[in-house]
Chains A and B, each alone.
Chain A
Amino acid sequence: KQEVTQIPAALSVPEGENLVLNCSFTDSAIYNLQWFRQDPGKGLTSLLLIQSSQREQTSGRLNASLDKSSGRSTLYIAASQPGDSATYLCAVEGTNAGKSTFGDGTTLTVKP
């Protein structure tokens, strides 16, 4: 059974700092890993999707890497801004087609 863990559960940083969020998964037989952000009480916004054959994806100030063999992914946020404050979730889709397993998320607070 796939398990996804995100560390830390919460993170508070001053504006402008670069930061890294971590995601680990127990079964390396995955088809993709996706990073989302969720604002309080709202739906999820897709940030980046990394297919199993890829090592990283970039979008603006965000960079996500994937190391399947070690069961890890990191989301790097450069020059953080207060608007980045949200809960960040990672999800992996494994061999069970269509079923994504989510981590519990990291709640990020960026202080002005």
Chain B
Amino acid sequence: EAGVTQSPTHLIKTRGQQATLRCSPISGHTSVYWYQQALGLGLQFLLWYDEGEERNRGNFPPRFSGRQFPNYSSELNVNALELEDSALYLCASSLWDRGADTQYFGPGTRLTVL
């Protein structure tokens, strides 16, 4: 069974540009989570999508947004890129079950903002 996949592996952008990151969950999983792992800051929760709806978001500005498609894949958009947006962006998927859902992570997209 295929795991969570993310594309691209690496992405280089300049300040002010927009970045789009993509995630395909494990087959049958309806929930997708996005996390940012910046150097020295640990893993920070960004967004949670389930059944096509945004269910929760972390303490990030509105220029971080995304969506979930009918096939449960998801994309994360970061507008007006800033240098501090450089990080590893991780996507995870699960079969939502309150308290019992194991999150399975993809390999990540490394975003570098110059």
Q: Contact residues of A with B, CB < 8 Å?
A: 31-32, 34, 36, 41-46, 49, 51-52, 89, 91, 93, 96-105
Contact = CB atoms under 8 A, between A and B. Distances in A.
Nearest to A97: B56
Contacts, number: 63
SS class of chain B's interface: helix, strand, loop or mixed? strand
Interface of A, helix, strand, loop or mixed by DSSP: strand
Contact of B90 (A31, A43, A96): A43
Interface stretch (B11-19, B43-51, B61-69, B77-85): B43-51
A97 B45 contact: no
A32 B100 contact: yes
Contact of A41 (B31, B56, B88, B96): B88
Given A41-B88, A46-B105, 5 more contacts: A45-B105, A91-B43, A97-B48, A98-B31, A98-B50
Nearest to A102: B43
